[in-house]
Amino acid sequence: MTQARLTVEDLTVRYGALQAVRDISATFQPDSIVGLIGPNGAGKTTLLNALSGFTDITSGRVRLGERDITRLSGQARVALGIVRSFQTVRLLEDESVFLNVALGCERNPQPTVVEQIFSLPRQWRARRRDLAATYQILDTLGLSEFAGRAVAELPYATRRLVELARILVVHPEVVLLDEPAAGSDRAERDLMGRTLRQLHAREPFTMIVVEHDVDVVRKLCSYAIALDSGAMIASGEPDVVLENDRVQEAYFGVGHRA
Amino acid sequence: MRIAASIVVMAFVGLLPFALDSYWVFTLSEVMIYAIATIGLDIVFGRAGQLSLAQASFFGLGAYLAALTTTLPAGLQFLLVVATAMIAGAVVAIPTLRLSGLRLALVTLLFGELFIWALDHLGSLTGGTQGLVVPALAIGDSNSQDPTYGYMLVLFFAVAATLTAVQISRTQFGRRLLAVRDSEVAARSVGIGLVRTKVAAFMLSAIFAGVAGWLYAHVVGFVAPPTFDLFPSVYFLIAVILGGAGRVAGSWLGAAYIVLIPQAFSIIGQSNLFPILGGGVLILVALLLPGGLMDGATRTAGWIRARYAAMRQMSSNRRPA
């Protein structure tokens, strides 16, 4: 169960003259599923990067519980349980599904390199623990039959699941998903939405999802934040946010009612 | 089954020196020595993807340390070689903080050139371009320059190096190396420390090369700069690429290639042909088997198995029900 709440206060990320994210303040309740919506270039991915430590924060704060993590490196944030996926799948394409997922066991405490190389007792225990965790998450996500296959041989939707398995192999605190259903068709999007909800129900964690698909956001998220040109224009219940005039305008253009 | 096979193989390689004449025993020792260094380069280049042209320098470091510390007991020499190689590996790894690919290779090349320069200019210590004679290391009632004893000594370390490389594939450290090579973004996203992993890979690779060089000095009995300059560094690289990056058996094949093929050419009295043919072989492998010889062997085996299965399928279909 997630204990800590993630909060951002007056968060701004600037690239030269461009303010990719402007003065965003929000609280992500523990174990909630929050949808980040907005048109292209609204700053959704930048916000995710700022939360995960993949981009420098110009001003403002990020906190996990009471802890100020604004200046922590991406690596340090991963160690706190803040893990992310990418808009384009980032996997070791020539390696097996098993290896790709086991990579996520990095967040378990690992013995020193010397202990690993000489296969000392701490390494046996770590190895047994990591293998078990990897097989279990592969089973949960229905990937067991692909365990030995090279990632490059698999269809795109399956590779998405492999990336998800890499995140979930060690229970995370906060999961940041950047368009988990991008490049998928309708059926695959629905399946991804259902899978995420089931995984979340089994072992809750705070989930922040960038998603374009309005239906997926409605069904999946308990809270939504709408961004436009780097600023937050609405937040609250997904249904309410999606009906908001400014969101409608940003999404569908002026005067259009869906 | 695997254990039985390993015992048979070990018995075979253990008895080999008693069946061959001393020239070939010595040559096989050389193959094993180069295999140890190649396995080391495979860790940093084949697995972690960091292009290094300094492997022969680490090899030379071990060899010259052996030559300069002959008065020390063997165990102490070994520890000294390991410690020095670790430090040298860490120093060479510093540029990886900012560089990768060809630019990194150029900086590692610079370290290699500095090493050769130092050997040439510290003549009173290193013998300069003349090199140094290394007295044999006493082992029991014989010594390391007796072909059979030398072979056994090298065999011990070659087996240890092979087992270490296999073990690395089974660890999170081994997975970190591959992640650093294939996708630094993915590596960062799971919390892998890129710098730490690269430095560890360089240190480990330097230890393998240093130990190989130490063995080389004691078995061959003579060290001189040309054995440790840019060309051998390139040969190590060729061995990794030819054999197949990330595969221990590939490193062995590659090492056998860089030791045995030049010898074969000199036996037929055409040693000048090797660079030409060697280049041709490299081009062929790069074009036809981008994964190296081991990858080619695995694929061929898979293809044969598939054909065999298909044939059995067909013959069983033909049988009346």
CB-based contact A117 B167, cutoff 8 Å: yes
Report how many domains make up chain A.
Answer: 2
pLDDT at B319 over 70: no
CB–CB of B182/A95 below 8 Å? Answer: yes
Is residue A180 located within the same domain as residue A71?
Answer: yes
Reported as a single tens digit per residue, the pLDDT across A157-175 is: 899 999 999 999 999 999 9
| Contacting residues for B186 by C-beta, under 8 A, at least 6 apart | A90, A91, A92, A103, B179
Is residue B172 located within the same domain as residue B298?
Answer: no
Reported as a single tens digit per residue, the pLDDT across B63-109 is: 999 999 888 888 899 999 999 999 999 999 988 888 888 889 999 99
Residue B183 lies in a domain: yes
- List the domain range (segments joined by +) for residue B27: 2-276
Size of interface A-B (CB pairs under 8 A): 79
The reported pLDDT for the residue numbered A1 is: 47
Distance of CA B70 to the CA centre of its chain: 24
> What value does the mean pLDDT take over residues B22-34?
92
CB-based contact A75 B185, cutoff 8 Å: no
- H or E segment and range at residue A213: none
| Contacting residues for B160 by C-beta, under 8 A, at least 6 apart | none
Query: What angle (nearest 5°) sits at the alpha carbon of residue B222, between those of residues B217 and B226?
Result: 95
Question: Testing the interface with A: which of B172, B192, B197, B208 to mutate, by most A Cβ within 10 A?
Answer: B172
Distance, in Å, from the CA atom of B287 to the CA atom of B298, rounded to the nearest integer, reads 17
Chain B residue with CA closest to A175: the answer is B189
Q: Residue written as tokens 């860089």?
A: B258
Is residue B187 located within the same domain as residue B304?
Answer: no
- The distance of A238 to chain B (nearest Cα, Å) reads 28
Tokens of B197: 């992993």
Is residue B157 located within the same domain as residue B242?
Answer: yes
What percentage of chain B reaches a pLDDT higher than 70?
98
Is residue A161 located within the same domain as residue A240?
Answer: no
Is residue A246 located within the same domain as residue A182?
Answer: yes
> What value does the mean pLDDT take over residues B248-253?
92
- The distance of A78 to chain B (nearest Cα, Å) reads 5
Distances (CA, A) of A210 to A1, A18, B187, B211: 22, 21, 22, 52
Distances (CA, A) of B9 to A195, B2, B3, B166: 49, 10, 10, 17
Read off the CATH number of the domain in which B202 is found.
Answer: 1.10.3470
The reported pLDDT for the residue numbered B3 is: 83
Tokens of B134: 């290394």
Could you say which of A79, A84, A127 has the minimum Cβ distance to residue B170? Answer: A127
CB-based contact B179 A92, cutoff 8 Å: yes
The reported pLDDT for the residue numbered A258 is: 45
Question: Testing the interface with B: which of A89, A106, A173, A178 to mutate, by most B Cβ within 10 A?
Answer: A106
The reported pLDDT for the residue numbered A2 is: 53
- List the domain range (segments joined by +) for residue A213: 1-81+172-258
Chain A residue with CA closest to B201: the answer is A113
Is residue A99 located within the same domain as residue A59?
Answer: no
Residue A30 lies in a domain: yes
Is residue A34 located within the same domain as residue A10?
Answer: yes
Which residue ranges in chain A fall short of pLDDT 70? 1-2, 253-258
Question: Testing the interface with A: which of B171, B181, B203, B298 to mutate, by most A Cβ within 10 A?
Answer: B171
Domain end among A126, A146, A171: A171
Chain A residue with CA closest to B191: the answer is A75
CB-based contact B188 A166, cutoff 8 Å: no
Is residue A74 located within the same domain as residue A187?
Answer: yes
Burial category of A188 from C-beta neighbours within 10 Å (exposed 0-12, middle 13-18, buried 19 and up): middle
DSSP, collapsed to helix, strand or coil, labels residue B195 as helix
The reported pLDDT for the residue numbered B318 is: 65
As beta bridge partners, residue A35 has A209, A224
- The distance of A127 to chain B (nearest Cα, Å) reads 7
Is residue A54 located within the same domain as residue A132?
Answer: no
The reported pLDDT for the residue numbered A26 is: 92
The reported pLDDT for the residue numbered A90 is: 92
Buried b (16+ CB within 10 A) or exposed e, B11-34: eeeeeebeeeeeeebbbbbbbbbb
Residues in A closer than 8 angstroms to B183, CB to CB, are 90-92
The reported pLDDT for the residue numbered A255 is: 53
Is residue A77 located within the same domain as residue A177?
Answer: yes
DSSP, collapsed to helix, strand or coil, labels residue A10 as strand
Least Cα distance to B236 among B139, B109, B150, B120 occurs for B109
Read off the CATH number of the domain in which A7 is found.
Answer: 3.40.50.300
The reported pLDDT for the residue numbered A18 is: 87
Is residue A195 located within the same domain as residue A145?
Answer: no
Is residue B314 located within the same domain as residue B268?
Answer: no
CB-based contact A78 B172, cutoff 8 Å: no
- The distance of A21 to chain B (nearest Cα, Å) reads 21
CB-based contact B182 A95, cutoff 8 Å: yes
CB-based contact B190 A78, cutoff 8 Å: yes
> What value does the mean pLDDT take over residues B287-297?
82
Going by the DSSP 8-state scheme, the letter that residue A92 receives in this structure is: -
Distance, in Å, from the CA atom of B46 to the CA atom of B56, rounded to the nearest integer, reads 16
Distances (CA, A) of B102 to A37, B49, B99, B249: 42, 11, 9, 26
- Per the model's pLDDT, the better-predicted residue between B197 and B264 turns out to be B197
- Per the model's pLDDT, the better-predicted residue between B159 and B1 turns out to be B159
Could you give phi then psi for residue B70, rounded to 5 degrees? -60, -20
Is residue B297 located within the same domain as residue B161?
Answer: no
Is residue A152 located within the same domain as residue A75?
Answer: no
Is residue B196 located within the same domain as residue B244?
Answer: yes
Is residue A76 located within the same domain as residue A176?
Answer: yes
Residue A86 lies in a domain: no
Is residue B17 located within the same domain as residue B158?
Answer: yes
Mean model confidence pLDDT for chain B: 89
Q: Longest Cα pair distance anywhere in chain A, in angstroms? A: 68
Residues in B closer than 8 angstroms to A86, CB to CB, are 185, 189
Tokens of A22: 């402007």
